[in-house]
Amino acid sequence: MRAIEPIPQSMQAAVLHAYDGKPESLRVEARPVPRPARGQVLVKMTAAPINPSDLMFLKGLYGILKPLPVVPGWEGAGRVVATGDDWLSRMLLGKRVACAAPNQRDGTWAEYMLTAATRCVPLSDSVSDEQGAMLIVNPLTAWALMDITRQGGHSAFVQTAAASALGRMLLRLSQHFGIEGIHLVRREEQAQLLRSMGARFVLNSEAPDFDAQLHAVCHQLNATIAFEAVSGMTALRVLQAMPEGSRLVLYGALSESPLMADPRDLIFQRKRIEGFWLADWLVGRSVWQQLRLGRQVQRALGDLLRSEVAARYPLSAVHCALTDYQASMTAGKRLLVMGS
Amino acid sequence: MRAIEPIPQSMQAAVLHAYDGKPESLRVEARPVPRPARGQVLVKMTAAPINPSDLMFLKGLYGILKPLPVVPGWEGAGRVVATGDDWLSRMLLGKRVACAAPNQRDGTWAEYMLTAATRCVPLSDSVSDEQGAMLIVNPLTAWALMDITRQGGHSAFVQTAAASALGRMLLRLSQHFGIEGIHLVRREEQAQLLRSMGARFVLNSEAPDFDAQLHAVCHQLNATIAFEAVSGMTALRVLQAMPEGSRLVLYGALSESPLMADPRDLIFQRKRIEGFWLADWLVGRSVWQQLRLGRQVQRALGDLLRSEVAARYPLSAVHCALTDYQASMTAGKRLLVMGS
């Protein structure tokens, strides 16, 4: 192990003891600080956001169940203070990085996190730790979805949960690349927010004529791909409204319900359903593509891919942060700030 | 128009007046005999089967709604007695053919049907009108599904509703081509029937440990494609049991319910859902591929692709035929026999 400062034996961390979504199952407590082996880095965390995928993880509804007890948190930022004794890891020693949690061990809601060197993106000086902490999950996903739209030759797309942090990034990217989007929300103030950002096609799924309107605008714009984060009947309604041969790409399940689809859309209209998971998409890129992507996304963090921070909380107030976030996700991100 | 015999002004036909599935909405009555234009042939029908897709059509649940009143029936056989005055149609004059109904007009449950010359397959002498009447929907679909399995490099497949006429054809084809199948049924006598045909992996979805068994055998055989005809929760259970990256191909919806799927299978396991419709699949083949296919399938009608006929009915007894078929679809096909 190489280190740039003394590493303590113990740290504070939010620790999950059961996948039941109960507040008492998540406790802030002392936990040993792990030591990096070959290919690994120890990140002294400075900030970590709460994302929808974290909420799903706490309830055991995320696609990955880690052995319990475990520290939640899929992404964050900090400084690499110790590394394994290999070339790639040592390159990161002392660097500020955005980092993703390992798939089977402790995550970012802690003072320190051990992860693979390959799961870190060195941060440019122009990117703050706060924005860097939110570099991976939303900006990279938004970038990937736009890439899928452009590679697939789709001239327009539909997105649900369009007022989310990710939805707003996708809106800005689509404006940048000149691709039309149809943005679906569930509340009028969300619709107004998106219209104030310049969105031209915003529909409220609670409106009585929603299905007819969505059908009309999907066919008018030839929107043949949908990015769907709600699941349940929302997926069915979106796919039903789209032209023949359309693709629905599911990347979330905010309704916590099984996806539904009308068999006739699949059989007679050649419509297809697939999923999107950022980790899989990244595996499909080469190391050089990933490095280039990291630079592109960091340059766009200031505008196209910026995240609004609604509030900051110390790690000890993780429950307040979770409660506030669930009460209004549209208001912006809640950040856990470590060592503050 | 060219004709080989006098064409009457009027005929008997089963005529559907409402898509409500009520017996009184389907009436046997007189209907004018249409005259073929360019590219069309008039088939004097001899036999037409009842398929699951016909039952869906009568209830308005099939993907295509024709303007009412309309003659149901998607396939059948007969002799071409009149044609339009063009080369292709005239080639068929006097020939025995298997024929598919047009997508927007009257179908096969009548004494005569007008259809496109391109929707007819000339029958070899070795194929009876009865077997010819069942050449298109089930044999071609079974052939197509096996082709999709082989082209996709899948070493094993799952199929639901495996005791259906189509399911049994797919079983025989898979035995012929040395591809392993996992056959799902809902009743023990169906399981026994398939085992008596040599099926090695037959599971009853009503068994208490069905999901665990299906998961085990799907992973053991690496069954990465499923042909699903039930929809609803059946689709969810099948997709959930299959290995990462699997495809579910929906070709029917016997449960008359929306398809359901676990979002985690789509997002984290790269599983995909698509539909299959024979008409689309055929459009993807050239005329020469279709002709070759017609010959291959006719050669196999005697064994691999044979349909068991449970009973024959005159057109006037169409209601009895429908009632019997719905009471026990596994028993075999019910044929409407015209001019008898």
- The better pLDDT of the pair A64, A107 is held by A107
Residue spans of alpha helices (H) in chain B: 52-58, 87-91, 129-133, 141-151, 165-177, 188-196, 210-221, 233-241, 263-268, 278-283, 287-300, 318-327
Q: Using a CB-CB distance cutoff of 8 angstroms, which residues of chain B are in contact with residue A231?
A: 263
CB contact, 8 Å: A232 with chain B? no
Residue B39 confidence (pLDDT): 93
A36 touches A13 (CB < 8 A): no
Judge if B111 and B141 occupy the same domain. no
- The better pLDDT of the pair A118, B167 is held by B167
CB contact, 8 Å: A210 with chain B? no
State both tokens at A68: 């319990």
Residue B81 confidence (pLDDT): 98
The answer to whether residue A286 is domain-embedded is: no
A236 backbone dihedrals φ, ψ, rounded to 5°: -60, -45
d(CA B338, CA B107): 13
CB contact, 8 Å: B339 with chain A? no
Task: Give rounded-to-5 percent helix, strand, coil for chain A.
Answer: 35, 25, 40
Residue B340 confidence (pLDDT): 55
Residue B130 confidence (pLDDT): 94
Residue A331 confidence (pLDDT): 84
**Nearest by CB: A268 against B63, B236, B273:** B63
Q: What is the dihedral of CA A70, A76, A82, A88, to 10 degrees?
A: 110
Residue B287 confidence (pLDDT): 76
- Count of structural domains within chain A: 2
Q: What is the dihedral of CA A105, A111, A112, A118, to 10 degrees?
A: 80
**Nearest by CB: A231 against B259, B263, B270:** B263
Residue A75 pLDDT > 60: yes
The answer to whether residue A64 is domain-embedded is: yes
Q: Three-class SS of residue A141?
A: helix
Judge if B174 and B95 occupy the same domain. no
**Which residues span the domain enclosing B188?**
137-279
A234 Cα to chain B: minimum distance (Å): 12
pLDDT digits (tens, 9 = 90+) for B195-213: 999 999 999 999 999 999 9
Judge if A123 and A159 occupy the same domain. no
- Check residue A24 and report its DSSP letter: G
Report CB contact under 8 Å: A63, B269: yes
Q: Provide the CATH number for the domain around residue A228.
A: 3.40.50.720
Residue B285 pLDDT > 90: no
Strands B120-122 and B112-116, sheet pairing: unpaired
Of A243, A263, A279, which closes a domain? A279
Residue B163 pLDDT > 60: yes
- Is omega for the bond preceding A69 within 30 degrees of 0, making it cis? yes
The arithmetic mean of pLDDT across residues A269-282, rounded, is 94
Residue B79 pLDDT > 60: yes
The answer to whether residue B302 is domain-embedded is: no
- Is omega for the bond preceding B122 within 30 degrees of 0, making it cis? no
Judge if A15 and A102 occupy the same domain. yes
**Nearest by CB: A63 against B62, B258, B264:** B264
User: Position of tokens 């096969």?
Assistant: B108
Judge if A22 and A111 occupy the same domain. yes
Calculate ∠ Cα A69-A70-A72, nearest 5°: 140
Instruction: Give the mean pLDDT of chain A.
Output: 95
State both tokens at A95: 């660097």
Predicted TM-score of the model (pTM): 0.91
Chain A residue with minimum CA distance to B240:
A258
Nearest to B103, CA basis, from B280, B224, B332: B280
Judge if B175 and B227 occupy the same domain. yes
Question: A13-17, A59-63, A108-112, A161-165: which range is least confident on average?
Answer: A59-63
The arithmetic mean of pLDDT across residues B283-297, rounded, is 85
Q: Which amino acid is at B44?
A: K
The answer to whether residue A175 is domain-embedded is: yes
Of the pLDDT bands very low, low, confident and very high (cuts 50, 70, 90), residue B288 is: confident
CB contact, 8 Å: B267 with chain A? yes
The arithmetic mean of pLDDT across residues B128-135, rounded, is 94
The arithmetic mean of pLDDT across residues A42-71, rounded, is 94
CB contact, 8 Å: A19 with chain B? no
Instruction: Give the mean pLDDT of chain B.
Output: 95
CB contact, 8 Å: B281 with chain A? no
Judge if B107 and B48 occupy the same domain. yes
- The better pLDDT of the pair A276, A294 is held by A276
Among B259, B260, B283, the strongest candidate for a mutation testing the A interface, having the largest count of A CBs within 10 A, is B259
The arithmetic mean of pLDDT across residues B132-151, rounded, is 95
Largest separation between any pair of C-alpha atoms in chain A? 65
Residue B299 pLDDT > 60: yes
Residue B116 confidence (pLDDT): 94
Q: How many CA atoms lie within 13 A of B196 on its CB side?
A: 7
Q: Provide the CATH number for the domain around residue A123.
A: 3.90.180.10
Of the pLDDT bands very low, low, confident and very high (cuts 50, 70, 90), residue A330 is: confident
d(CA A15, CA A26): 5
The arithmetic mean of pLDDT across residues B136-151, rounded, is 95
Judge if B52 and B160 occupy the same domain. no
Judge if A151 and A210 occupy the same domain. yes
The answer to whether residue A287 is domain-embedded is: no
d(CA A304, CA A165): 11
pLDDT digits (tens, 9 = 90+) for A165-200: 999 999 999 999 999 999 999 999 999 999 999 999
The arithmetic mean of pLDDT across residues A223-245, rounded, is 98
Nearest to A285, CA basis, from A143, A163, A94: A143
Judge if B270 and B170 occupy the same domain. yes
The arithmetic mean of pLDDT across residues A82-100, rounded, is 94
Judge if B149 and B275 occupy the same domain. yes
pLDDT digits (tens, 9 = 90+) for B24-57: 999 999 999 999 999 999 999 999 999 999 999 9
The answer to whether residue A284 is domain-embedded is: no
The answer to whether residue B213 is domain-embedded is: yes
The answer to whether residue B17 is domain-embedded is: yes
